[in-house]
Structure 1
């Protein structure tokens, strides 16, 4: 039986802001209710991602505005400001590198949580249900890469960026979906969410395999051991954050020192965080981690990365250089055409050959809209672009291409969804 608050004494003031005898609302002040789950409460998760997408968009627009003013040099100075203490032994790290290696590790930790939740409680726990978004996501990676290689063939060093148009930005895409098709059926939201989660997993695998030079084995092995200890403690249902936070930071540091991109550590730790319920029905470790880190990721980590990456020159000569560069054109074609053909074609082929089924609430026109929306490649595309092209001018052209492709894909998806809204209104 819960403890009753002590009765108020006569000489004390009425209950108010300074009344120390007022009952402490412990249950009400607890900021999290264990009813929020990724698979079961898709709407709530999408609402959060929508806010993050809007904040990220504002940060990107602010960076573009600053980079195209007479004070553009100060933006460049901020982005290239060095911040790498010698005692850390991680080489030169400017603000942009800290954003891509440090802050995005939190973003990918959230992606790892989502993937583990989908595998445990969501669409990916059943192979038949998971086949449609998984096959669509895989095709949505292969086709853009092939189109990029076809368009950019013959350009020196172009092949290094084959993975740039393969990634979908989950926050940006969900924000566009929420604004343009707020009444879309829940299975369509779940399809896009699962598609984006699988896409993130493929992207981080590509980064680990294709964009990592010869690693330093000692720090890498130490990082693997720390990640394994983290997973073991999670399986034993240890709940103290004072144990996990130092382990996670040390694992990130070791992976970063090894030469492998530190976002790999983030997604690995996220996938090892336990989503299993406790006998006393307290929030799971995954729920607690998500509750604390998701606002930080959506409100700070991703927007700061977008702000430090999206500031490119958009003058006539700069845009002319983009449309005269086959690498940049390959990025635009891969994101706008490749993602649409890959996602829609992969989903259609999976249903056609009997590997998956199209739910009763899903329609091919809506799947086509999601396929167009998959061409919104922002966060991960910019990350891979920075890893693939170290030349600043080439990276700026690739960044501009990613921004142009994202705008085109968003506009095309908006047209499809708005028409679908009118069709549904006429049917109703």
Structure 2
């Protein structure tokens, strides 16, 4: 139990505290809470929420909410992208080869299932409800990696193959979620030419500070050029590229919190991956892992403020979108993961990891139904501030109930815990 609590404090405690403070504050004094969230830091700035005046000029206002959700959360998504990138590209990456096929199928089920349930129930409730909530279809597709991993360890034990399967599913879900945010939830009128700034910054920093030094080091076992660049410049070229890339995303009309993603693949990285939450990752000192280690504690603080600025919902906001999000997660996830995972394992012959049963897929789906962090984020961009957004956020918060359902399902289906 100590290891579980240590995990909570390392990855989730500040986020939980921020969300709890927000809920209490919003239900005690909603006016002061929302004034805090939308507090204007700088008016008429070069970054921030865009407003068009009567003359067609665009003005931007930097609020506290924008600073956290659109600027600082870029570091959170960069860390998520780093894990996805390593899982795909590196030797022994968890999303490479046949071993990843069944989890990827299960991930698809864990996304299509919630979408089908969400939109299906909304359609049943009538056209007015459907038109009001249809933009929120992606909210229940989310899986919170940290909380799901925590609950998965409680249900299966740290040594059960289902825990690794769950992590593969969650990482793939994150990758799909990043694509959904970029494609389906632009922040304004699209100006794709600005993406050339992001692409150019990423390519330039890769060629000048990654590829070229390694090219010059051919035949040099001491890697003198790469070492000199690392010592003299450290992460600064990539920080500059990240700023340019972020600005390109904002100007392009894409969600700027994704603005660091193009730079992640340009950073020098290890030649193999040990997997997210692996202790071995702490002993890797390539630049990409060093940057992740450096960002770990700042991102924990950022997640506290994310919870504080996004989870403040009045309980009176509970309405149809709450139950739609919750139904998508609690019904669509388990049955979607089970169905698609079974199709991959049995009819398609891809199989399951040794020690896993088909019924474990359902339990994994219950665990993956904890949407929380990413579900909250998608809710904040899917709907404008107001009753529908608040109701959808409440559904994301209530998804914590999936933990109890998963524990109950584990006992019902007699999951045998396996410890390391």
TM-score (norm 2): 0.80
**Greater shift in the superposed pair: 412-421 or 367-376:** 412-421
Tell me how far apart the structure 2 counterparts of residues 77 and 48 of structure 1 sit (CA, whole Å): 34
Once the two structures are TM-superposed, the CA of residue 397 in structure 1 deviates from its matched residue by 0.8
Q: Are the counterparts in 1 of residues 195 and 249 from structure 2 also a CA contact under 8 Å?
A: yes
2:116 counterpart of 1:146: yes
Once the two structures are TM-superposed, the CA of residue 165 in structure 1 deviates from its matched residue by 0.8
Corresponding residue for 1:184?
Answer: 158
2:402 to 402, 409, 412: 409
Tell me how far apart the structure 2 counterparts of residues 63 and 363 of structure 1 sit (CA, whole Å): 40
Q: Are the counterparts in 2 of residues 145 and 163 from structure 1 also a CA contact under 8 Å?
A: yes
Corresponding residue for 2:25?
Answer: 66
Corresponding residue for 1:250?
Answer: 244
Q: Are the counterparts in 2 of residues 309 and 382 from structure 1 also a CA contact under 8 Å?
A: yes
Tell me how far apart the structure 1 counterparts of residues 94 and 358 of structure 2 sit (CA, whole Å): 21
Corresponding residue for 2:73?
Answer: 104
Tell me how far apart the structure 1 counterparts of residues 411 and 17 of structure 2 sit (CA, whole Å): 23
Corresponding residue for 1:310?
Answer: 311
Once the two structures are TM-superposed, the CA of residue 374 in structure 1 deviates from its matched residue by 1.1
Corresponding residue for 2:218?
Answer: none
Q: Secondary structure at the match of 1:157?
A: helix
1:117 to 79, 86, 109: 86
Tell me how far apart the structure 1 counterparts of residues 262 and 413 of structure 2 sit (CA, whole Å): 39
Structure 1 pair 56/148, CA: closer, same or farther in 2 (3 Å)? same
Q: Are the counterparts in 2 of residues 109 and 268 from structure 1 also a CA contact under 8 Å?
A: no
Tell me how far apart the structure 1 counterparts of residues 253 and 414 of structure 2 sit (CA, whole Å): 48
Once the two structures are TM-superposed, the CA of residue 182 in structure 1 deviates from its matched residue by 7.1
Cα RMSD for the two superposed structures: 2.7
Corresponding residue for 1:78?
Answer: 36
For residues 272-315 of structure 1, the C-alpha deviation after alignment (integer angstroms, 9 at most, x for no partner) is 4332359xx97212211121112322x2122211111111112x
**Greater shift in the superposed pair: 255-264 or 82-91:** 82-91
For residues 338-367 of structure 1, the C-alpha deviation after alignment (integer angstroms, 9 at most, x for no partner) is 111111221111101235221113233443
Q: Secondary structure at the match of 1:92?
A: strand
2:159 counterpart of 1:220: no
For residues 165-207 of structure 1, the C-alpha deviation after alignment (integer angstroms, 9 at most, x for no partner) is 11111122223334x2473325322222221111111111111
Once the two structures are TM-superposed, the CA of residue 424 in structure 1 deviates from its matched residue by 4.7
Q: Secondary structure at the match of 1:83?
A: strand
Q: Secondary structure at the match of 1:358?
A: coil
Aligned residues: 369
Tell me how far apart the structure 1 counterparts of residues 288 and 369 of structure 2 sit (CA, whole Å): 29
For residues 121-156 of structure 1, the C-alpha deviation after alignment (integer angstroms, 9 at most, x for no partner) is 445453200102111111211111111111112223
Once the two structures are TM-superposed, the CA of residue 62 in structure 1 deviates from its matched residue by 1.7
Structure 1 pair 84/401, CA: closer, same or farther in 2 (3 Å)? same
Once the two structures are TM-superposed, the CA of residue 101 in structure 1 deviates from its matched residue by 1.1
Once the two structures are TM-superposed, the CA of residue 418 in structure 1 deviates from its matched residue by 5.3
Q: Are the counterparts in 2 of residues 54 and 175 from structure 1 also a CA contact under 8 Å?
A: no
Corresponding residue for 1:130?
Answer: 100
Q: Are the counterparts in 2 of residues 216 and 257 from structure 1 also a CA contact under 8 Å?
A: yes
Corresponding residue for 1:388?
Answer: 382
Structure 1 pair 248/258, CA: closer, same or farther in 2 (3 Å)? same
Q: Are the counterparts in 1 of residues 317 and 387 from structure 2 also a CA contact under 8 Å?
A: no
Structure 1 pair 167/354, CA: closer, same or farther in 2 (3 Å)? same
Structure 1 pair 45/413, CA: closer, same or farther in 2 (3 Å)? closer
2:196 counterpart of 1:194: no
Q: Secondary structure at the match of 2:39?
A: coil
For residues 238-293 of structure 1, the C-alpha deviation after alignment (integer angstroms, 9 at most, x for no partner) is 53212211221221122122211013223333344332359xx9721221112111
Corresponding residue for 1:13?
Answer: none
Structure 1: gaps (5+ residues): 1-43
Corresponding residue for 2:54?
Answer: none
Tell me how far apart the structure 2 counterparts of residues 191 and 254 of structure 1 sit (CA, whole Å): 36
Structure 1 pair 50/376, CA: closer, same or farther in 2 (3 Å)? farther
Corresponding residue for 1:284?
Answer: 286
Q: Are the counterparts in 2 of residues 276 and 284 from structure 1 also a CA contact under 8 Å?
A: yes
Q: Are the counterparts in 2 of residues 108 and 270 from structure 1 also a CA contact under 8 Å?
A: no
